[in-house]
Amino acid sequence: MLRPLHWNRPGRFLLAFVLAVVAVVCPIHLLAVESSAKKPFFEERPMVVIDPGHGGSDEGAAGPSGSREKDVVLRLAEQVAVLLEDRFQVELTRTGDYGMDLPQRTGTANRYPAALFLSLHTAASQAPHVSGVFFYYHRPIASVAAVTSKKTEITAWENLQDRHREQSRRLAQELARQWKTRFPGDEVTVAGHPLPVLEGADMPAVLVEAGTLTHAADELRLADMEHLKTVAAVLAEGVASFLKAGGAAP
């Protein structure tokens, strides 16, 4: 007959200590492994915010055959996002057919904060023969240049983009360079203008007009999904090249 095992007092204390250590250390260890395996994506990769212009009752420009700017740029934004999401975090300011105020658009980018803001549009002209692609960065009228309060050191919302102007200009140039490489026959313009949709962005920001919708040939191209995918590839490569070169560094 086996006799019960009797522990002396030191033995009981030792056993209790070992069991307590196992109970506490093992879950923490497993939690640490799980945590490191699921490192938050945003801690590793920059955020890119893409803004499909217009939306809802604001249809934007209209083509001769009835294409609507708000639809074209949403499809384009979705394609750009697909191409960027394996290298960056990507957020669209709108994902459906609804309107947004301008402060909401840049506000989305500022909240993250994003490394880069890209607002997508198409150009329009009253002259049906006018065609072209445009890359704009925000350049305010001289008389309303940025004003910062010396007391608070807070820059007004409408002046936030001013401190990123040079970076935004370089982003526009890089996007234009990529476009000319892929579409050498297109008329491509890079310019600075007062742009309300960009003025509140606290990061490099560019407005792209990816063709002139009121031009019949441009409208046909913009209605072609294969062309939009190529345009998306151009924009995605320009964004990646700019960020890889440290374009978003302060």
Q: Are residues 22 and 133 in the same domain?
A: no
Least confident piece of the model among 21-25, 112-116, 205-209, 210-214: 21-25
pLDDT at res. 122: 98
The number of distinct structural domains making up the chain is 2
Q: Does 158 have pLDDT greater than 50?
A: yes
pLDDT at res. 20: 53
Q: Are residues 14 and 69 in the same domain?
A: no
Q: Are residues 149 and 59 in the same domain?
A: yes
Q: What is the DSSP string of the chain?
A: -PPPP---HHHHHHHHHHHHHHHHHHHHHHHHHHHHHT--GGGTS-EEEEEE--BTTB---B-TT--BHHHHHHHHHHHHHHHHTTTSEEEES-SSS----HHHHHHHHHHTT-SEEEEEEEE--SSTT---EEEEEE---GGG---B-TTT--B-GGGGGGGGHHHHHHHHHHHHHHHHHH-TTS-EEEEEE--TTTTT-SS-EEEEEEEETTSHHHHHHHH-HHHHHHHHHHHHHHHHHHHHTTTT--
Averaged pLDDT, 156-166: 82
pTM beyond cutoff 0.95: no
Q: Report the mean per-residue pLDDT for the chain.
A: 84
Q: Does 250 have pLDDT greater than 50?
A: no
User: For the domain that residue 179 is a member of, what is the CATH number?
Assistant: 3.40.630.40
Q: Are residues 194 and 240 in the same domain?
A: yes
What is the sign of the dihedral through the CA atoms of 238, 240, 246 and 247? positive
Averaged pLDDT, 78-93: 97
Q: How confident is the model at residue 159 (pLDDT cuts 50, 70, 90)?
A: confident
Q: Does 243 have pLDDT greater than 90?
A: yes
Q: Are residues 25 and 82 in the same domain?
A: no
Q: Which of 245, 246, 244, 237 is nearest to 118 (CA)?
A: 237
Query: pLDDT for 168-218, tens place per residue?
Result: 999 999 999 999 999 999 999 999 999 999 999 999 999 999 999 999 999
Segments forming the whole domain that contains residue 17: 9-38
Q: How confident is the model at residue 246 (pLDDT cuts 50, 70, 90)?
A: confident
